[in-house]
Every structure is written in C-alpha cells, then in structure tokens.
Amino acid sequence: MYGRNVMKIAENVYWVGIRDWNRRIFDALIPLPKGTTYNAYLIIGRNGKALIDTVNPGFEKDLEDKIRNLVNPEEIDYIVMNHAEPDHAGAIPHMMRIASKAKLITTAMGAKMAQVYYHTPQERIRIVADNDVISLGDKSLRFIEAPMLHWPETMFTYLEEDGILFSCDFFGAHVASGAYSDEVEDLLVHAQRYWGEIMMPFRTLAQRALEKIASLNIKTIAPSHGPIHRKPEPILGAYRRWATGETRPKATIAYVSMWGSTDAMVKQMAETLASEGIELAFHNLLVTDVGDLAKDLVDSRAVVLGAPTVLGGAHPLAVYAAYLFKALRPPTKFAVILSSYGWGGGAVRQIQEVLKDFKFKDVDVLEVNGPPTEEIMRQIAEMGKSLADKIKENV
Ligand code: FEO
C-alpha cells in the first residue's frame, strides 16, 4: 500500500482529511464549484489518541488508511464528534468498529443524534458539556458548545497546548485545494459564500460563539471544510463583520423575465444605482448560481427583486429567490420589488406575502401592465435615486 497523504499541522497533530475534488452539490441545494474537503484530525498524546471528526460516507477506507500511516487505528481512545451531519460523522460507524475501545465524545444532543444516525451504543458515548476538558497526557481537549453552527448539537474542540481550534463547519469554505488559507487566492470570497449559505441564518448565535472563543489563545483555526487558517485574524475579522451584519453601499439585484419587461425595469434600476456609485451584484435567476447570490446578500444593504406575473402569481424562480432570502436572513435594510403583468397582477402581493416577516427599514414596489413606458422608466430612475440615497445614508 502506498502512503496516503497526511499533513502535520503541529507536533503530533495531523490532518487526515479527504479532498472531494468532484463534489458539485451539497444538501441538494448548494453548488460547490470548487469541490470541498472533509477535514479530520488525529491528535497523538502521550497518554491517549483522539480523532477529531471523520469524513463523508464513501471515504471510510481512505480515512482508515491515512490514520494507519501514523498509528494503529485500534489504539484510538476518543473519536470526537463536533457535529453529527454525515459529511463529518458519516465514517463514525466504521471508525468505532475498528477503534473498538474508543469512546465517542459529543454533546448531550449529539449523543441522541449519534444513536439515531449512527446506531452508536449508549455505553460507548461520553457526553461533554461546555468547557469540559479531556487530557491525553501532554495534550488537553477543551469542548465549547456552539449550538446551530451548524446544527443544534454542534461544538468546537480547542487543543490548549497548541492553540488549535477545531471549529467544524464554522470558519469553513467549500474549496478542495490548498492546505492553508493564506495560500488560496480569494479564500475570503469562498468563505463569504459559505457564510451566506450556511452560517448567515444564525448570526446571533455566531456572535455568541465569537464572544466565547475571544479569550482563547488561538494560533490556528482548523475547520472541517477547506483550508486551515494558520493566520486566523483575516477569517476572524471577516466573521466579526458578517456576524454583526455589517453591510456595504451595495445592492443585489435578482430577477427573472419572460418577455423582456421586467428585464428592462431591473436594468433601468441597475443603471441608476451604478451611476449613483452603488456597487451592484446582478443575478438573472434563470442562470445564476444560488451560492453566489447568497454570497452577495451577506453584505448588501439593499435587494431589488424582479418578479414578473405568471398564472396569477409571481414567476416560480422569483418565489424561490424570495423564499431563499427569507430563509438565509441577510442583514439587508432596503428592498424594491419590480414587476410586470399581461392582464392581471399578483406577483408583488405574493412576494410581499413570502417576505412579510422580514424587518426591512423600507420596501418600495412597482407593478406595471405590459412593457415599461418612457414614463415608467423615469419613475424607476427616481426610485433608483431614492434607493441610492437611502443606501448611502445608512452606513
Ligand atoms: Fe459540514 Fe453541517 O456539515
């Protein structure tokens, strides 16, 4: 057997993860244009060995082989399940079979999930609470509960002596290449996309988690997706901005058009905003990558939704975008809904119904019959100027 690639990240601490270069979709929802990784880590202490998370189903043997490069996997004492989602916990049954004396370390809620998802016997689970520590002799693992980042059972593991935070999904990026984040071009763009897709709905809990880890001496952040942050400040700074909902003078336009009327309306709005110095992200919902759309919503101060009428309601792609917006809960302050109809309206009403619980500071709407006239285009330009003023005033 040839040696499987492992990577030393500190003395007796190794990355034993998997690079899934060809994965293109996650949760049947999130496109992965750059693939992803499932990072697992092996810690070899003087008096004990711990595996931090595992990998996606299908890669069990690869993980086992990587560990065999370093130690006999039967000697593992602890398998830490920071998060129960199968992309990290899917190889737990395999590893628990091989490491037959190992205990599964997880939160109380994680213990229930391990039994439901992975049929882990109760007597092989050790439940840990916030700030509990397990010693491996010269290495100490501190557990930090991080609910909803990304599931309710999630926790982080902090390796005290080396200052490594194993943060599971938090601080991750769906990028298969690169060992360290400072080696990956545009890593923060990928991280922003990932934040928009996965963490943005839980901004308050993310802020709480950032406060919890603020007192730790973090030298390295080792997430479960994407490269390791050996210089943690850029990703920590970005997470602080995103978690507090800091926005920029930027508008995201998301639209679909059937016969060109809504297209003309949103382009008039886009031209006006661009002339007023507003940064724009322009998404035709027919072809756009929803991950890119999520990324742009992270720091946009306004959203413009173009939703034509079809069959008495909004076009399904516009309904999808509005629903996604509601689910992702971006910090957007202002909205404009532009719509056209042939013989009867209904699209604006339906979009407003989807977004009714969202706390915008201001929502402006325009619903027109047929192609927009010169007068309508003037009206949209006025709406655009007014929106630009609001965006610039609300720094
Ligand atoms: Fe990467 Fe929530 O699993």
Q: What is the pLDDT along the chain (395 residues), one digit of tens a residue?
A: 455 799 999 999 999 999 999 999 999 899 999 999 999 999 999 999 999 999 999 999 999 999 999 999 999 999 999 999 999 999 999 999 999 999 999 999 999 999 999 999 999 999 999 999 999 999 999 999 999 999 999 999 999 999 999 999 999 999 999 999 999 999 999 999 999 999 999 999 999 999 999 999 999 999 999 999 999 999 999 999 999 999 999 999 999 999 999 999 999 999 999 999 999 999 999 999 999 999 999 999 999 999 999 999 999 999 999 999 999 999 999 999 999 999 999 999 999 999 999 999 999 999 999 999 999 999 999 999 999 999 999 86
Alpha carbon 273 to its chain centroid, in Å, reads 29
For residue 224, give the ligand 1 atom closest to its CA: 1
At 394 the pLDDT is 80
Token digits of residue 212: 């919890």
**Identity of residue 172:** G
Q: Ligand 1 centre from 186 Cα, in Å?
A: 22
Q: Indicate if the alpha-carbon torsion angle 223, 229, 230, 235 is positive or negative.
A: negative
CATH of domain 251-393: 3.40.50.360
Q: CA 296 to CA 201: how far, in whole Å?
A: 14
Q: Is 83 in the pocket of ligand 1 (CB under 6 A)?
A: yes
Q: Ligand 1 centre from 79 Cα, in Å?
A: 17
For residue 172, give the ligand 1 atom closest to its CA: 1
Q: Ligand 1 centre from 295 Cα, in Å?
A: 18
Instruction: Assess contact for 156 and 168: CB atoms under 8 A.
Output: yes
Q: Ligand 1 centre from 27 Cα, in Å?
A: 10
Q: Ligand 1 centre from 168 Cα, in Å?
A: 7
Q: Ligand 1 centre from 374 Cα, in Å?
A: 50
Domain extents for the chain? 7-243, 251-393
Q: What is the pLDDT of residues 46-104, one digit of tens each?
A: 999 999 999 999 999 999 999 999 999 999 999 999 999 999 999 999 999 999 999 99
The two most distant CA atoms of the chain are separated, in Å, by: 78
Please identify, in words, the CATH class of the domain defined by 7-243.
alpha beta
Terminal CA-to-CA distance of the chain, rounded, Å? 59
Q: Is 224 in the pocket of ligand 1 (CB under 6 A)?
A: yes
Q: Ligand 1 centre from 225 Cα, in Å?
A: 8
Q: CA 338 to CA 351: how far, in whole Å?
A: 10
Residue 355: count of CB within 10 angstroms of its CB: 18
Q: Is 174 in the pocket of ligand 1 (CB under 6 A)?
A: no
For residue 225, give the ligand 1 atom closest to its CA: 1
Q: Is 53 in the pocket of ligand 1 (CB under 6 A)?
A: no
Burial of 181 (0-12, 13-18, 19+ CB in 10 A): buried
For residue 38, give the ligand 1 atom closest to its CA: 1
Alpha carbon 124 to its chain centroid, in Å, reads 31
Q: Is 225 in the pocket of ligand 1 (CB under 6 A)?
A: yes
For residue 151, give the ligand 1 atom closest to its CA: 2
Q: Indicate if the alpha-carbon torsion angle 187, 193, 194, 196 is positive or negative.
A: positive
Token digits of residue 2: 């040839």
Q: Is the pTM of this model over 0.75?
A: yes
Q: Ligand 1 centre from 203 Cα, in Å?
A: 17
Report the candidate in 215, 216, 205, 117 with the shortest Cα–Cα distance to residue 169.
Answer: 205
Instruction: Assess contact for 338 and 266: CB atoms under 8 A.
Output: yes
Ligand 1 atom 3: the closest Cα is on which residue? 85
Q: Is 60 in the pocket of ligand 1 (CB under 6 A)?
A: no
Q: What is the pLDDT of residues 99-156, one digit of tens each?
A: 999 999 999 999 999 999 999 999 999 999 999 999 999 999 999 999 999 999 999 9
Ligand 1 atom 1: the closest Cα is on which residue? 169
Q: Ligand 1 centre from 130 Cα, in Å?
A: 20
